[in-house]
Structure 1
Amino acid sequence: MAANELSTKLKSSSRAILKRTHVPETVQEDDDNPMKSILKKNKKPKLDSSVEEHSKAQQEPTHKSGSRIASQVTVVTDQKLTDSSSKVEKSPSQPKNKPISDNRQSDVNQPKRNEDPSDVAKSGISSDKAVGSEKSRKEVKKEITATEKSGKSDKKSEKKEKEKVKKGKCTESKSSADKKQSPIKSTSKKTTVKIEEEDEEIAAVQDPKVDKSRICPYLDTINRSVLDFDFEKLCSVSLSHINVYACLVCGKYFQGRGKMSHAYTHSVLESHHVYLNLQTQKFYCLPDNYQIIDSSLEDIIYVLNPTFTPEQIQQMDNNSKLSIAYDKTTYLPGIVGLNNIKANDYCNVVLQALSHVTPLRDYFLQESNYSVIKRPPGDQMCLLTQRFGELLRKLWNPRNFKAHVSPHEMLQAVVLCSKKKLQITKQGDAIDFLSWFLNAGHGALNGTRKLSSSIINKTFRGIMKVYTRKVLPVELSDEEKAKLMEQEEYKVRMDEMPWLYLTCDLPPPPLYPDEMRENIIPQIPFSVLLSKFNGVNEKEYKTYKDSTMKRFEITQLPPYIIVYIKRFAKNYFITEKNPTIVNFPIKNVDFGDLLAPEIRVKHKCTTYDLMANIVHDGQPGPGKGSYRVHVLHKGTGKWYEMQDLHVIDILPQMIPLSESYIQIFELRRDIPNPTYGKTPEENVTMES
């Protein structure tokens, strides 16, 4: 009977075990003995099932100590958890739904889950086996604590490695929260290795734009022969001057580089990919839209905006080397033709002559000299100095792509600042342009009446005394004339005034030739023209009301003297030109002869040399004649004749034979004034 009862109990217990295998593990845990849940597992734990079970266990409101210990036990890596469980398992061939036995006996003698101690005693389990099971539990605890320590060390190493990876992939707050919610997933070695590999691959390519900028494949498409930065910086489509880019393949200007801009459209339609921002001087590749950084493009930037050091400026007058342009033509820096857009030759000759005035050239070659000058808001006169400086830098650029320069931007500034009084489509007078340009430039540089207020005053401004008296009527008697002379109106009045150039009057040409037919082209010495300013000779100036007599006395000579020979006479009907030839010397012109003895003593040097000569050829009137200029190149000591784009060298003996219109003389500081620092009495004794 006892045997039958024992068999029935075993059958009922086995059925209970089979039913419990289908119940979740969290339900089968014993509150008194929580370690039984690990010892009674018969199959290998899997990552997905364990995560689901522990998430369910965390959601259940358990306040007992057994559930807390079970949740701590599960914080193990997949690999180490399987190792610990494999030690407890019986064998790979063990049945799935049977509990694990410590002494590896049959399942009949193993105590079942959630059984009373009485059932264990009845089943015949010995005390030795119970002790062995307790020992195995202690070993499992030790292995679990070791795995926890190793897991913590693995976490520290993983954090250090992730700090090296590029920031922004995942924040530390998110990673810590994920580790708290799913500790098994965060400690998985396979997943961390994959994440690290992906981060390393992403961090390898830091910035694709920087990498492409060094290896742009379209640099060989740049055509330097069509690049021309002389024209106004306007978009060829929208005519806007904002954010303009130059296509380095065809040379055209376009606005913007966004997807809806004209430069972007041009790059897609024409397959022109390299562009230059004309303001920031940066290169871009479109439509890829990345910046190009290459040292081979520096020559383009230098042509766009040439720069000069103070050492280079000092050596310009001593340089006689020829420069080679991109089209293999040779030229001298400074001796470069200016393009005649339509009828601007009268401006070109003046600009060429002023470009060889050394103080003026040296001042405008350095942009820092005039870029800091502050002008009132909305004032456009600052454009005049900026454009003139850009033109001078291009004329003296030794690395030009071509042997000529277009003054388009300069002339646009002239038309704008003169309020359309001076035009490039209609020929004007060279002296009108020179007078306006010097006065406007002086004002744009914030010049005042002081001689040292601007570079223009320092270079060209002189001082003279003008004596004026009113002419007495001829029909009056001597007594009446004596009475009028006592009036303030008819007394001699003296005014001191500054001057920029000296106006010389030509005598009227003869109406008929002489008997020998030799006076067909009249001639006059240069000294006769200058005698107007010796302070002795008087000249009558008539008006519709009365006439006045004036005489001029120079009191201060500037470093550069501009002489204007008045050839054109205008009346109500026509404009006449005086063809008289002036015989002037090229070197050693002593302007000290015009000064009074007491004034000449104050000047160290009074000898001047000719350095520029502007000539007018042809008939008077707009559009009928033409202008050309003779310029001395100090580096080579040769004279050159320039008429628009035509540049040829000329003999100095041919210069006085031309119909000179404007001349610029330069002071020679190597020839001292012999009367400097001496009294007039000593000078008289020296002359005797």
Structure 2
Amino acid sequence: MSRVRRLSDNKYDPRTLKKSRTPAKQLPFYLESIDIKKLDFDREQICSVTLSPLNVYCCLTCGKFLQGRGEKSVAFLHSIHEDHHVFMNLKTRRAYILPENYEIPAIQFLEKIKFAICPSYTQKDIASYPVKCFDMSNNPYLNGLVGLDDPNHTLHVTVILQLVAQISPLRDILLLMDSEDFKDELLKRLSVLVKKIWSPYLFRSHLSPHEFLHQLTLVKTTTAEETDPKSFLLWLINYICTSNPELKKVLTQNMRGEIIAKTTTVKEVSMKGEGSLTFVKDESSSSLRKRKFWILSLDLPPMPLFKDGFDTNSIPQVKMETLMNKFNGTQVVHTNDGTTSYETSRLPKFLILHIDRFNRKDEYPIKNRNQTLVKFPDTLVLKGRAYQLITSIAHNAIKGNYSDEAEVDQESEWKLQVLERKGGRWFEINGKSVTPKEKELLFLDESYLQVWEALE
């Protein structure tokens, strides 16, 4: 990470100006009125007066989103009444001087504002990431490891958005494709958000997912109880697959695996002379069935009956290799009709594991969750294929709202732990905060979702 990217402050180089119909004496004065600190392109891109999303411009002096640039338009009147003159179209990213209605030629300073609206990348750019960057307040950050705001308690969504941005085949296509080429509006906004997460020229070292979340409310009905990252990840994968064939191909090739389920029924057999019943497997009824999967769910061993006074040393621990025995074909899972065993027949390049901690039928599923800690190796070997952990979503329980009349359940918080693969360092993203994380301490958190990448 030897390269360093800095975002210039409100400065421009007059030598970069090309010929323009704008009077040469006026243009430098207008450009000096641009105030980057007031610009925010993470919010909904609609006119602040008419609430229309059509033909919206950003006033680069005050940051307001205003419609049109023709006479009597909202932006035109704003330029006269407020004496603000530099505007940029949020779709075409072309800049104009109003009310004169002159287009500003391409200059480096405006290019960085265009990049902030919707970044664009080349394969060479992606190969060099992450790099050390600085925002406009000179705060350092690594692109790709950027915190997200948590509006309206949506951490279960934002951690999945961060996770998606770390899966390289999906990330690359979202970075390289023009966001306007996505016909589906939600995918378009997902693409823009992932582009911003990997931007080396952020105005601030954190982002707001407001645009994506707003569109999400229009396509997905969510109840207050649906705060499970696993459920949202599965929903998002299925939505992508049904909305975009190209992205579906990328997901299928890299993230979908296959297991073989062997099901055997159990029969009741009466014991002669003893007047009792016993249960035996009917091997003749065994059947094999192949099943595709996006996520493998792992079952934790039961917690001890008495859990009071737990500390880090007394909380039960289990190895990841032990949990993965569920899918080696020898461990039997009992069902209502008999027994089932599972064996992986095809492992994907990116293996997503779900550590099941909650009994959603429990009156207090969070308070009574399984807190067993999972110890995982540096390299997980499955079917002769080696995997490396690259991201982990961890759960944290916080105290719920208690009243005198009744007790309520605890509440869940979610954070993402990410491996910065170039330097081999781990970072923890908790809302807007990004902090280094000791690799040896990862297992002390309640891991819930993990992504393992195959080492080719």
For normalisation by structure 2, the TM-score amounts to 0.85
- Tell me, yes or no, if structure 1 residue 389 matches structure 2 residue 183: no
- Find the aligned partners of 1:518 and 1:346 in 2 and give their Cα distance: 25
Question: Structure 1 residues 211, 260: closer, same or farther in 2, change over 3 A?
Answer: closer
Equivalent positions of 1:500-539 (< 5 A) are: 500-512=294-306, 520-539=314-333
- Residues 266-292 of structure 1 deviation map (CA, whole Å, 9 limit, x = unaligned): 222222211111111111222222222
SS of 1:412's equivalent?
helix
Equivalent positions of 1:415-494 (< 5 A) are: 415-418=217-220, 420-421=221-222, 428-446=227-245, 454-473=249-268, 485=282, 491-494=285-288
Q: CA deviation at 1:337?
A: 0.8
Count of matched residue positions in the alignment of Structure 1 and Structure 2: 423
Match of residue 354 from structure 1: 164
Contact 1:513 1:519 in 2 (8 A): no
- Find the aligned partners of 2:442 and 2:280 in 1 and give their Cα distance: 53
Contact 1:303 1:399 in 2 (8 A): yes
Q: CA deviation at 1:518?
A: 9.9
Q: CA deviation at 1:421?
A: 2.5
- Find the aligned partners of 2:312 and 2:154 in 1 and give their Cα distance: 37
- Find the aligned partners of 2:328 and 2:197 in 1 and give their Cα distance: 38
- Tell me, yes or no, if structure 1 residue 588 matches structure 2 residue 379: yes
Q: CA deviation at 1:446?
A: 2.2
- Find the aligned partners of 1:281 and 1:213 in 2 and give their Cα distance: 22
Select the residue among 269, 289, 292 that pairs with 2:81.
269
Q: Runs of 5+ in structure 2 lacking a partner?
A: 1-18, 401-408
Contact 2:56 2:65 in 1 (8 A): yes
Contact 2:373 2:447 in 1 (8 A): yes
- Find the aligned partners of 1:633 and 1:357 in 2 and give their Cα distance: 12
Contact 1:213 1:291 in 2 (8 A): no
- Find the aligned partners of 1:356 and 1:422 in 2 and give their Cα distance: 28
- Find the aligned partners of 2:24 and 2:361 in 1 and give their Cα distance: 67
- Find the aligned partners of 1:465 and 1:213 in 2 and give their Cα distance: 72
Contact 1:213 1:290 in 2 (8 A): no
Match of residue 132 from structure 2: 322
- Tell me, yes or no, if structure 1 residue 557 matches structure 2 residue 347: yes
Match of residue 188 from structure 1: none
- Find the aligned partners of 1:252 and 1:336 in 2 and give their Cα distance: 25
1:588 alignment partner AA = T
Q: CA deviation at 1:479?
A: 13
- Residues 223-244 of structure 1 deviation map (CA, whole Å, 9 limit, x = unaligned): 0111111111111111110111
Q: CA deviation at 1:265?
A: 2.5
Contact 2:22 2:104 in 1 (8 A): no
SS of 1:573's equivalent?
coil
Match of residue 33 from structure 1: none
Match of residue 192 from structure 1: none
- Find the aligned partners of 2:34 and 2:231 in 1 and give their Cα distance: 43
Contact 1:213 1:292 in 2 (8 A): no
Between the aligned residues of both structures, percent identity stands at 31
- Tell me, yes or no, if structure 1 residue 571 matches structure 2 residue 358: no
- Residues 474-501 of structure 1 deviation map (CA, whole Å, 9 limit, x = unaligned): 7687999999959xxx822211111111
Greater mean deviation of Cα atoms: 408-417 or 331-340: 408-417
- Tell me, yes or no, if structure 1 residue 303 matches structure 2 residue 94: no
Q: CA deviation at 1:415?
A: 2.3
SS of 1:293's equivalent?
coil
Match of residue 253 from structure 1: 65
Q: CA deviation at 1:508?
A: 1.7
Match of residue 239 from structure 1: 51
SS of 2:267's equivalent?
coil
- Tell me, yes or no, if structure 1 residue 365 matches structure 2 residue 208: no
Match of residue 421 from structure 2: 634
Question: Structure 1 residues 427, 538: closer, same or farther in 2, change over 3 A?
Answer: closer
Question: Structure 1 residues 233, 422: closer, same or farther in 2, change over 3 A?
Answer: farther
- Find the aligned partners of 2:132 and 2:280 in 1 and give their Cα distance: 72
Contact 1:306 1:397 in 2 (8 A): yes
Contact 1:639 1:651 in 2 (8 A): yes
Contact 2:267 2:279 in 1 (8 A): no
SS of 2:76's equivalent?
helix
Question: Structure 1 residues 422, 663: closer, same or farther in 2, change over 3 A?
Answer: farther
- Find the aligned partners of 1:517 and 1:292 in 2 and give their Cα distance: 63
- Find the aligned partners of 2:369 and 2:281 in 1 and give their Cα distance: 40
- Residues 172-212 of structure 1 deviation map (CA, whole Å, 9 limit, x = unaligned): xxxxxxxxxxxxxxxxxxxxxxxxxxxxxxxxxxxx98243
Contact 2:268 2:280 in 1 (8 A): no
Question: Structure 1 residues 371, 523: closer, same or farther in 2, change over 3 A?
Answer: same
Greater mean deviation of Cα atoms: 243-252 or 438-447: 438-447
- Find the aligned partners of 2:216 and 2:311 in 1 and give their Cα distance: 46
- Tell me, yes or no, if structure 1 residue 625 matches structure 2 residue 404: no
Q: What's the Cα RMSD here?
A: 3.0
1:331 alignment partner AA = Y
Q: CA deviation at 1:431?
A: 0.7
Q: CA deviation at 1:213?
A: 7.7
Contact 2:270 2:277 in 1 (8 A): no
1:353 alignment partner AA = L
Select the residue among 21, 29, 51 that pairs with 1:210.
21
- Find the aligned partners of 1:436 and 1:310 in 2 and give their Cα distance: 29
Match of residue 406 from structure 1: 208
Question: Structure 1 residues 479, 214: closer, same or farther in 2, change over 3 A?
Answer: farther
Larger radius of gyration: 1
Match of residue 177 from structure 1: none
- Find the aligned partners of 2:238 and 2:25 in 1 and give their Cα distance: 49
Equivalent positions of 1:600-615 (< 5 A) are: 606-615=385-394
Q: CA deviation at 1:262?
A: 1.8
For normalisation by structure 1, the TM-score amounts to 0.57
Question: Structure 1 residues 501, 539: closer, same or farther in 2, change over 3 A?
Answer: same
- Residues 150-177 of structure 1 deviation map (CA, whole Å, 9 limit, x = unaligned): xxxxxxxxxxxxxxxxxxxxxxxxxxxx
Question: Structure 1 residues 372, 401: closer, same or farther in 2, change over 3 A?
Answer: closer
Contact 1:344 1:427 in 2 (8 A): no
Contact 1:231 1:409 in 2 (8 A): yes
- Residues 375-421 of structure 1 deviation map (CA, whole Å, 9 limit, x = unaligned): 6xxxxxx2232222111111111112111111111222322222x23
Larger RCO (CA within 8 A; separation ≥ 6):
2
More helix by share: 1
Question: Structure 1 residues 234, 518: closer, same or farther in 2, change over 3 A?
Answer: closer
- Find the aligned partners of 2:188 and 2:429 in 1 and give their Cα distance: 24
- Find the aligned partners of 1:505 and 1:484 in 2 and give their Cα distance: 23
Greater mean deviation of Cα atoms: 347-356 or 527-536: 347-356
Q: CA deviation at 1:638?
A: 0.9
More strand by share: 2
Match of residue 94 from structure 2: 282
1:584 alignment partner AA = F
Equivalent positions of 1:24-173 (< 5 A) are: none
- Find the aligned partners of 1:455 and 1:308 in 2 and give their Cα distance: 19
Q: CA deviation at 1:534?
A: 0.6
Q: Runs of 5+ in structure 1 lacking a partner?
A: 1-207, 376-381, 593-599, 601-605, 670-688
Match of residue 26 from structure 1: none
- Find the aligned partners of 1:573 and 1:548 in 2 and give their Cα distance: 28
SS of 1:536's equivalent?
strand
Contact 1:338 1:404 in 2 (8 A): yes
Give structure 1 regions of 4+ aligned residues with deviation exceeding 3 angstroms: 211-215, 370-373, 473-486, 516-520, 619-623
Contact 1:214 1:294 in 2 (8 A): no
